[in-house]
């Protein structure tokens, strides 16, 4: 590729996949071919209100559904909820190089001034990727826990209470849960090309897939889903469940709680702090959902036993 071609490729709007040349070695055979990879690019999220603008966060993500990602991130961190966002747009600053303009989004908020971002920064420090203890993380969520916001006549939630209490859900049939990973995998279009993306799916209690998002980061995929729900007026998601394609971390449970989801399922293991959060806030947490089996770590009353269950066992789960 010439330098001109390289610049043109970099200047174009990034897509969810990137084609590269690879050398494949299999046994004694060697061949050169093209391969599709999941694109990973930074996304800078800026906030603006009352004439002031500030960079809030930079996350590595797969391009696509960027506005939903920004909205979901703001919702999960307790910064903005339904009715708080005036607009979201890609940055058009002339000081940015062309290839960076689709890697920066500006969220304009209603109101005369930016929120108290130093206070909001405390919430950013409660993910499992940072060096604070689990007890402090749960205490931060307790501080944010407020009475569930009251929907208006349209069914949308008003106000800035972003951690609605979980509401009754289910019970959902075990057989319905068995089918969810298959539905999720079937809907993963980009994963089929790259094999390198996580997915998050939003399902109804009868197993209907409402929406799916893919990303190199499973937390980004969840943010995109929550952002979709926020921007389409569907929050809180009290009648839905979330399925993620990997392990379930505290960070994912925090986002689910903020969105009002009563149930979170993962095809792999949950972390200890994810279980603590689920038990603290009465969320049903399911792990190892694959091959017609799963473990329930909290609030099992939202799941009906399989029809052919002969006996209840308490055997420990095998390691992932």
Task: Say what the pLDDT of residue 275 is.
Answer: 94
pLDDT band, very low/low/confident/very high, at 12 (cuts 50, 70, 90): low
Neighbouring C-beta atoms of residue 50, cutoff 10 Å: 11
Write the CA distances from 89 to 14, 61, 108, 224, integer angstroms: 16, 17, 8, 15
Helix (H, G, I), strand (E, B) or coil at 5: helix
Is 293 annotated in some ligand binding site? Answer: yes
Report the CATH number of the 41-144 domain: 3.10.20.10
Using an 8 Å Cβ cutoff, are 215 and 198 in contact? yes
52 against 125, higher pLDDT: 52
pLDDT band, very low/low/confident/very high, at 202 (cuts 50, 70, 90): very high
What fold is seen in the domain 172-304? Cytidine Deaminase; domain 2 (3.40.140)
Is 295 annotated in some ligand binding site? Answer: no
- Name, in order, each residue with C-beta under 8 angstroms of 236's C-beta and a sequence gap of 6 or more: 148, 149, 157, 164, 259, 260
Is 218 annotated in some ligand binding site? Answer: no
Is 292 annotated in some ligand binding site? Answer: yes
Q: How far apart are CA 141 and CA 31, in angstroms?
A: 53
Q: What is the pLDDT of residues 181-198, one digit of tens each?
A: 999 999 887 766 666 789
Q: How far apart are CA 230 and CA 279, in angstroms?
A: 25
Task: Say what the pLDDT of residue 195 is.
Answer: 67
- Which residue, 43, 14, 36, 20, is CA-closest to 217? 43
Is 124 annotated in some ligand binding site? Answer: no
On the question of a common fold for 41-144 and 172-304, the answer reads no
Positions annotated as catalytic residues are 130
Mean pLDDT of the region 269-296: 94
Mean pLDDT of the region 251-261: 94
Sign of CA dihedral 55, 58, 62, 65: negative
How do the domains of the chain map onto residue ranges? 41-144, 172-304
Is 290 annotated in some ligand binding site? Answer: yes
- Name, in order, each residue with C-beta under 8 angstroms of 133's C-beta and a sequence gap of 6 or more: none
Task: Say what the pLDDT of residue 283 is.
Answer: 95
């Amino acid at each position: 590729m010439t330098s001109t071609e390289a610049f043109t490729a970099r200047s174009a709007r990034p897509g969810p996949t990137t084609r590269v040349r690879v050398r494949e070695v299999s046994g004694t055979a060697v061949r050169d071919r093209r391969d599709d990879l999941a694109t990973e690019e930074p996304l800078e999220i800026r906030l603006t209100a009352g004439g002031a603008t500030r960079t809030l966060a930079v996350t590595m993500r797969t391009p696509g559904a960027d506005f939903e990602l920004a909205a979901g991130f703001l919702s999960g961190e307790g910064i903005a909820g339904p009715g708080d966002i005036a607009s979201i747009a890609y940055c058009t600053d002339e000081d940015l190089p062309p290839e960076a303009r689709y890697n920066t989004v500006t969220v304009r908020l209603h109101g005369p001034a930016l929120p108290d971002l130093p206070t909001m920064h405390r919430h950013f420090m409660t993910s499992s990727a940072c060096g604070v203890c689990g007890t402090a993380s749960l205490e931060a969520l307790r501080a944010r826990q407020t009475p569930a916001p009251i929907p208006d006549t349209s069914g949308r939630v008003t106000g800035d209470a972003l951690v609605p209490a979980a509401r009754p859900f289910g019970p959902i049939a075990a057989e319905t849960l068995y089918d969810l990973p298959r539905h999720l995998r079937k809907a993963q279009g980009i994963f089929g090309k790259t094999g390198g993306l996580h997915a998050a799916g939003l399902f109804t209690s009868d197993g209907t897939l409402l929406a799916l998002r893919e990303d190199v980061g499973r937390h980004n995929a969840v943010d995109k889903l929550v952002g979709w729900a926020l921007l389409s007026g569907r929050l809180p998601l009290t009648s839905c469940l979330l399925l993620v394609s990997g392990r379930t971390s505290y960070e994912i449970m925090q986002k689910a709680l903020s969105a009002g989801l009563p149930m979170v399922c993962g095809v792999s293991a949950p972390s200890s702090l994810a279980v603590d959060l689920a038990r603290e806030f009465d969320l049903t947490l399911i792990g190892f959902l694959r091959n017609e089996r799963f473990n329930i770590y909290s609030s099992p009353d939202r799941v009906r036993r399989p029809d052919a269950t002969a006996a209840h066992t308490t055997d420990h789960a095998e390691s992932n």
